[in-house]
Amino acid sequence: MLVYIAIGLVAFSVVGILALFLYFRMVKKKYQKNSALFQKDQIVVKKKKSFSDQFDRLYQVFYIICISMPVLKYYTRKIRLKLEMVNDYTEYEIRRKTGSIMLASVIFVITALFIFLNVTSDLYMQLIVVIAVLLVNEKVVDYRVSNVADKILRQIPEVFTEIRHSFHEHGMIEEAFNDAIDELEDKEITPQVKRIKEAILADNPEVQLEKYYDTAPNRFLKLFAGVSYLTMELGDRKVDGTSIYLKNLNNIVNDVYLEILKRDKINYMFRSLTIIAVAPILFTNIIQGWAESNFAALINFYSSSFGFIIKALILISIFVCYFMLRVIREDSDQIKFDRIATKKWQDKAYSIPLIRKIVDALIPAEYTTKRKRKTEMIKNTNAFLTLEWFYVNKVTAALIGFVFSLTLIINMHYIDFNAVFSQISEEFLGLGKLSAEDEEAAKIMAEQDAEYVEQYRGDASITKEQIKADIEAKEGSVTDEQVDRIYSKVASVQGIYLKYWELIISLFVGFVAYFVPDLILYIRNRMREMEKENEIMQFQSIILMLMYIERIDVQTILEWLERYSYAFKDAIATALNNYEAGATDALEDLKDRVPNKDFKRIVDGLLSAVERIPVREAFDELETERNFYYEKRKEANERLIQKKVRMGKAIGFTPMVILIAGYFVGPLMIVSIMQMSTYFTQMGAM
């Protein structure tokens, strides 16, 4: 087996490399004339190429191949976006790094699938192998990139310490950045500090800062960049003998520590839930083997369509629970981190006339409450979807649900058909272990019955009398039990076909699947509702940082709140758009749009700053209650963690409950009751 696997791997690798080479030649001819992908400034050509240079060129070539292939294109863009958000790579470096990660992932997936799929011949185990390999590959890729983002977050306090010391000495932000960059050397956060410095010192700093905000790995670096720019532009001042700039850095550091503690607790609580949710996929065959060897009555159950349905239900629950755990665990930064720059498959599907007609018929009419509610839910989750794309997802989910359920039903018929020819007769089954003699006798009986079933299954008019006469003519004697058993098997085979009510069930499953995207959207909204209180406290921290800066105005504060908002982003953006037409009316409309008491208090302060008093006086209570808000924010984080953990535990243990209750305990109880009923009937007859 190992020799065959080795030979197969070598042959597969040679064919794969040849195919990639030919595909690259084809792509090169297509794009060479009008694309910069193959220009010398993108793929560096050297006269003397070292071994590492050859690999760099290979990574770039593989990047070009992946970015042009339908399936790999999605993951390539996803990895590229993540790398752009946490590193200061040039175009050449980003392609080389993305290509290296994609090449390693493709090699791992192909090799692992080839080895493990050749080791096992069981269809269920092969499906498990495919799922496990894909999940492991995704986890490894995410860890390689997300680990950098986590390091950047944890290095922020160190950066601020260096900047604080240098700012005390020089009083100049540019010098503070230079000293911090020199001290940090090659740490993961160094490219981020360099990008912020280049942005605030650029000829058009506001444009460059907006570009940085789009790819910043977390909101704290965005705050740091914005505060540094405002201090350079408007100057620093002292309040109660303390620099406002340094005071703002301390506020950001306090928020960073809170975020680190929150993530550490969530990671600690969720560290085993994903494993618990996925683990049942490994134990189904183990439980089945143990149960069949110790409880012979369960053999027929596991080989029947009911056993297959329970197995399928376990697999479906694992998939659903795994992705639900990801939704619950993620926070605002991680959602943006998973964003893909282009999601066009829905747009392409919507451009098909038939699909467009179906989707347009399903979308709620203009100016209806349902359409408004659905649009607001999509905006609240920041899902990067239009309403049309969302309904394309719903139609796709319905179609997949219908086809999937219909495939399951057809497969159930196939299993039931084979079970008629192979299942052990009930007279050999009991609550104990099946002996070798009984197993051999049951096998011989099943083979004899199979001959008669194969003979009669095409005859719809067959009767017990005909079966009895044929068996007597062939074997000389026959019992009524044998005739009843064969007739029952023939009737079972003849009754295996796709029925109208099974088609109705498939349609119903498709109808339920149609609402799955709504369920995911609802859960994401629930998660965002949990984080609203935390976001409002973040607004308070931002206002505390801005209120002491000279010449700060309400419109600038609104711009900052909109930039760092998630749950209230759409409402604040609308207020900003209407601000020039009338500041008071825009803020009053903002209060009406957001029915949240704490948020309305912030808007009331902004209204006061517009109409009567300076910003600092409008929010002076924030300064006096700073410690209270800090403790309140810690408590809000604790409540958020507890809610997520409760939901995570309920979802994470669902597949295990289905496995134990539905695949072992439930069938064992049912079969035991049926066996006991048979025994009591026999005893009553005696």
| Backbone phi and psi for residue 509, each to the nearest 5 degrees, phi listed first | -60, -40
* Cα separation values, 592 from 562, 575, 587, 588, 589, Å: 17, 11, 9, 6, 5
162-214 pLDDT, tens digit per residue, is 898 888 887 888 888 888 888 877 788 888 888 899 999 888 888 888 888 87
Q: Per-residue pLDDT for 509 more than 90? A: yes
3-state secondary structure at position 677? helix
Element (H, E) at 675: helix 666-685
Mean pLDDT of all residues in 48-61: 67
Q: Per-residue pLDDT for 107 more than 70? A: yes
Low-confidence winner among 535-539, 656-660, 673-677 (lowest mean pLDDT): 673-677
Pairing between strand 238-239 and 242-243? Answer: antiparallel
pLDDT of residue 15: 58
Instruction: List % helix, strand, coil for the chain (3-state, nearest 5).
Output: 80, 0, 20
Calpha distance 307→551 (Å, rounded): 72
pLDDT of residue 368: 87
Q: Per-residue pLDDT for 494 more than 60? A: yes
| Burial of 17 (C-beta count, 10 Å sphere; 0-12/13-18/19+) | exposed
Calpha distance 16→521 (Å, rounded): 40
Calpha distance 541→531 (Å, rounded): 15
Six token digits for residue 653: 């243990």
Q: Per-residue pLDDT for 420 more than 90? A: no
Evaluate the CA torsion angle 147, 163, 559, 233 in order and state its sign.
negative
- How many residues appear in the chain? 686
Q: How confident is the model at residue 34 (pLDDT cuts 50, 70, 90)?
A: very low
67-88 pLDDT, tens digit per residue, is 877 777 777 887 887 777 666 6
Q: Per-residue pLDDT for 511 more than 90? A: yes
Structural contact between residues 237 and 231, judged by C-beta atoms closer than 8 angstroms: no
Mean pLDDT of all residues in 251-267: 87
Name the one residue in this structure whose structure tokens are 């209060």.
Answer: 591
Calpha distance 58→510 (Å, rounded): 45
Structural contact between residues 512 and 369, judged by C-beta atoms closer than 8 angstroms: no
3-state secondary structure at position 271? coil
Q: Per-residue pLDDT for 398 more than 90? A: yes
Q: Read out DSSP for 452-472?
A: HHHHHTT-TT--HHHHHHHHH
Calpha distance 432→443 (Å, rounded): 18
| Burial of 341 (C-beta count, 10 Å sphere; 0-12/13-18/19+) | exposed
Element (H, E) at 498: none
Buried b (16+ CB within 10 A) or exposed e, 382-397: bbebeeebbbbbbbbb
| Backbone phi and psi for residue 335, each to the nearest 5 degrees, phi listed first | -65, -45
CA angle 156, 158, 163 (to 5 degrees): 95
Which residues lie across from 239 on neighbouring strands? 242
Calpha distance 537→541 (Å, rounded): 6
Calpha distance 150→262 (Å, rounded): 13
3-state secondary structure at position 189? coil
Mean pLDDT of all residues in 398-406: 93
Compare 42 and 89 and report the one with higher pLDDT: 89
Structural contact between residues 59 and 95, judged by C-beta atoms closer than 8 angstroms: yes
Q: Per-residue pLDDT for 415 more than 90? A: no
pLDDT of residue 596: 77
CA-nearest of 417, 426, 440, 416 to 297 is 426
Six token digits for residue 259: 């975020």
Query: 3-class secondary structure for 196-217?
Result: HHHHHCCCCHHHHHHHHHHHCC
Low-confidence winner among 18-22, 495-499, 587-591 (lowest mean pLDDT): 18-22
Structural contact between residues 187 and 178, judged by C-beta atoms closer than 8 angstroms: no
pLDDT of residue 400: 93
% of the chain with per-residue pLDDT over 70: 84
Buried b (16+ CB within 10 A) or exposed e, 428-448: bbbeeebeeebeeebeebbee
Mean pLDDT of all residues in 99-125: 78
Calpha distance 617→357 (Å, rounded): 57
CA-nearest of 107, 81, 106 to 94 is 81
Q: Per-residue pLDDT for 41 more than 50? A: no
Cα dihedral 352, 357, 362, 363 in deg (nearest 10): 80
Domains of the chain: which residue ranges?
Answer: 2-119, 344-383+385-514, 519-652
Compare 622 and 642 and report the one with higher pLDDT: 642
Calpha distance 64→457 (Å, rounded): 57
